[in-house]
Amino acid sequence: MKKKFLVCALTLTFALTGCSGSSSKPANDTSTAEAAAATESTVAEEAVEEAEETIEDEAAAETNSVYQKDLEIEVSDKNLADSKAADFVTIGDYKAIQTNLPEGTAAESGMTANIAFAGTVVGEDAPRDGMTADSYDLELGSGTFIPGFEDALIGHKAGETVEFTIPFPEDYGETTLAGKDTDWTVTINNLSKGSITTLFGEFVNDAEISSLPKDLYDEVTSYVTAIYTKSAESNQQSLEDFLASNNINMEPDIRSQCRAWLVSSAILEAEGVTEDSQEYKDMMSRILEVYGYKTLDAATGSGIPEAFIRSATASQLAIQIIEKNAQ
């Protein structure tokens, strides 16, 4: 299943975790330190580009199972503005979400290892630029680093230092490194279950929703339609033709976004955060900055739906709250 503009926009919501200091993943043909130093906006842009290209079949299947569950939820005649998010959704204990794994855990594929590393081409005296880092989040098994690098860390524990020699691929993008053997010294600083955004996504999908508030459903329907309409126009198609040609049903996307916004709102309620709170306003400003705008009026004037900005703000602020609790 492929999606275009909407997926990009929704991915951006979670890509903004870069604002709180997470590392981006390096591409196989770029130096690790350079990629790790990517700016917040670059992190978001790369996530958008990834989302534009494709959704892996396995991930799509998992998402579809939640979509199917959401399609059975009725739209209430009650409005969120007159109620509380907690009247519509039961969330788990978000304060219990922890990323770091217990001391003594051995690294496995799928875990995220925060590492310090230095690599030296065999025969050279010092690491080249981009082959060292003091703190880098690497998802083991992702194929982010050159072949053999991630495999060498499997089975080792936080605090251990691992030394190994592996070659750069013959077709490596940096020709001066292609095919060369390299000595690596890697220290595993800590091991975690993954990023806060990943855990937040799982938390959102596990929430029990009794019904969808009508005003929230209407707002999400409006911005999802606006986003897809914009994408259709960029492809010089009508909305109907665009949806048909891409085999897109908007209803599951609408309900998925209602779920995320509703769960995020419930977390903000539990924390006593409102749209008038300074932390909410600060987060909205950061999101607007990623888009290149200084004010909400400027963003909406260019065609970005206000409801999307508010939804993105709520989701990212909820992620920030969970991240603080997890530290």
Mind listing the domains of the chain with CATH numbers? 5-99+198-326 (no CATH), 112-192 (3.10.50.40)
E strands along 48-177, which residues? Answer: 89-90, 112-121, 132-139, 161-167
Is the confidence at residue 191, as pLDDT, over 50? yes
Tokens of residue 20, six digits: 């709180």
CA nearest neighbour of 326 among 200, 205, 188: 200
Q: What is the pLDDT of residue 197?
A: 82
Is the confidence at residue 60, as pLDDT, over 60? no
Q: Which of 18-32, 129-143, 176-190, 264-278 has the lowest mean pLDDT?
A: 18-32
Whether the model pTM is above 0.75: no
Q: How far apart, in whole angstroms, are the C-alpha atoms of residue 46 and residue 8?
A: 10
Chain centroid to CA 220: how far?
A: 20
**Strand, coil or helix: 57:** helix
Tokens of residue 49, six digits: 């580009």
Is the confidence at residue 55, as pLDDT, over 60? no
- What are the CA-CA distances from residue 198 to residues 43, 164, 201, 255, 310 (Å)? 15, 30, 5, 19, 21
The amino acid occupying position 82 is D
Name 155's Cβ contacts closer than 8 Å, sequence gap at least 6.
106, 107
